[in-house]
Amino acid sequence: MLIADVERKQIEKSSADHLLRGRDILCFSHDWTGDPLSKTHLMRVLSRDNRILWINAIANRMPTTSTKDLSRIYKKLKSFTEPMREVEKNIFVMNPLAIPAYGSKAIVSINQKILIRQVKSAMRKLGMKNVINMVFNPAAGMIAGKLGETEQIYYCVDEYTAFTGVSAGLKEIEEDLFRQSDFVVVSAETLLESKKKFNEKTFLIRHGVDFNHFRKSLDAATKIPAEIANLPRPIIGFHGLLADWVDFELIKKIAEHFKNGSVVLIGKITFDAEKKIKILDGVPNIHFLGRKPYEDLPAYCKGFDTALNPFVMNELTRNVNPLKVREYLAAGLQVVSTDIQEVRVLEDCLIGENHTDFIAKIEQILQNPKPRETVSDAIRFESWDAKVDELRVIMRKVKE
């Protein structure tokens, strides 16, 4: 980067530094107890100087009769009776209740009334004033702008309408949300291209990384977990949601090619992926370890020789910015990914053009590994603090 560019960014940051401080912020997102996502990291940074009301997930899709969905419905109903609580300093979590269907105007109207009542009640209890509404969940578009907020930001990190089983009517709700927001932030170049038609004030902020956390993978004191410590090498690893956007056929081919090594899969298997993942049944060197605590992921990364981002290519994945890739890099791991545009921009990520090429790229990394410190250092400045600074600069530009 040129010195002039560095100086310009420093000036922009300095002039916007007072923004997003001392404010009350609504955050419509996923469930707080889920794996930490971009929203979690951003709100943790913002909570140092602001007070956050985190509204747990309003469903984007109709539930099925699966055991997992029925269990989730039960948990949602049970959690609705629980009081709002402060989960971390300045972060308060409430559990909304809504009908997960948006195709009918009557149902949308009912949802609006009950959700507005619930959220406003929580806002009153906290004495919230001069509120910024930061919407990460498009279903919350039903009530955005109706809560007395002074500013509204839609932070779009996925092509939500491309998810399996998405509720009818969500597309229209989201498009209205784009249009009525003061400005929109997207996390991928492809989303910027497709969404700016709804709102000319649409800006790109790529994901950050919890660098210090995943850098622990390089610490001598970090111990490789026993369940992978003695597996045959190379250990080719993955952590994240095992959903229907993962290319399980590719994973099987990788395991068969590296039959003397091990493929380690860490994460929850979603209902939508349960049938597809059966293709991996009986492959002896694939190890399913289930979901692991976020705190333990650097230790597992330490045991990997390389890491995978094996997504199928479709409308959903073409618009993603996979957070796990930056986490792998911060842990010092070189990555092989399918052809995701937001991975292409990252150093130390190799792109597999097809299954054969993907496996060849794994071989390339294993034969010529870069020092882990070098890989990790390259992403040191992609912190979540830096991303909040970018958000502040955008807010200043919008206000000019």
- Are both 81 and 186 inside the same structural domain? yes
- Are both 226 and 315 inside the same structural domain? yes
- Are both 110 and 140 inside the same structural domain? yes
Return the structure tokens found at 277.
């993942």
Q: Is residue 5 part of a domain?
A: no
Q: Is residue 7 part of a domain?
A: no
Q: Could you give the 3-state DSSP secondary structure of residue 104? A: coil
- Are both 215 and 177 inside the same structural domain? no
- Are both 183 and 66 inside the same structural domain? yes
Domain count along the chain: 2
Residue 273 phi, psi dihedral angles, 5° rounding: -100, -5
**Which pLDDT score is estimated for 60?**
59
- Are both 202 and 141 inside the same structural domain? yes
- Are both 230 and 106 inside the same structural domain? no
CA distances from 256 to 136, 170, 278, 301, 350 (A): 39, 41, 15, 22, 20
Q: Could you give the 3-state DSSP secondary structure of residue 28? A: strand
Q: Is residue 6 part of a domain?
A: no
Q: Is residue 349 part of a domain?
A: yes
**Which pLDDT score is estimated for 165?**
78
CA distances from 86 to 38, 51, 92, 126, 286 (A): 20, 10, 4, 11, 40
Residue 242 phi, psi dihedral angles, 5° rounding: -90, 85
- Are both 95 and 167 inside the same structural domain? yes
The one-letter code for the residue type at 264 is V
Read off the CATH number of the domain in which 149 is found: 3.40.50.2000
What is the DSSP annotation of 303-370? H-SEEEE-B--STTGGG---HHHHHHHHTT--EEESS-HHHHTSTTEEE-SSHHHHHHHHHHHHHSPP
Q: CA 292, CA 264: separation in Å to the nearest integer?
A: 12
Q: Is residue 2 part of a domain?
A: no
- Are both 199 and 266 inside the same structural domain? no
Q: CA 219, CA 165: separation in Å to the nearest integer?
A: 42
Q: What is the chain's pLDDT, residue by residue, as a tens digit (400 residues)?
A: 444 555 556 656 666 888 999 999 999 999 999 899 999 999 999 999 999 999 999 975 554 444 554 455 445 545 556 779 999 999 999 999 888 777 788 888 998 999 999 999 999 999 999 999 999 999 999 999 999 999 999 999 999 988 887 777 889 999 999 999 999 999 999 999 999 999 999 999 999 999 999 999 999 999 999 999 999 999 999 999 999 999 999 999 999 999 999 999 999 999 899 999 999 999 999 999 999 999 999 999 999 999 999 999 999 999 999 999 999 999 999 999 999 999 999 999 999 999 999 999 999 999 999 999 999 999 999 999 999 999 999 999 998 8
- Are both 200 and 245 inside the same structural domain? no
Entry pTM: 0.90
Q: Is residue 3 part of a domain?
A: no
Q: Is residue 4 part of a domain?
A: no
- Are both 105 and 160 inside the same structural domain? yes
- Work out whether the CA dihedral 221, 224, 230, 233 comes out positive or negative: negative
- Work out whether the CA dihedral 109, 112, 118, 123 comes out positive or negative: negative
Return the structure tokens found at 39.
């929203």
Please provide the size of the chain in residues. Answer: 400
Q: CA 382, CA 348: separation in Å to the nearest integer?
A: 14
Q: Which domain holds residue 188?
A: 12-208+383-399
Q: Is residue 1 part of a domain?
A: no
- Are both 283 and 365 inside the same structural domain? yes
**Which pLDDT score is estimated for 7?**
52
β-bridge pairing 306-309 and 235-239 = parallel
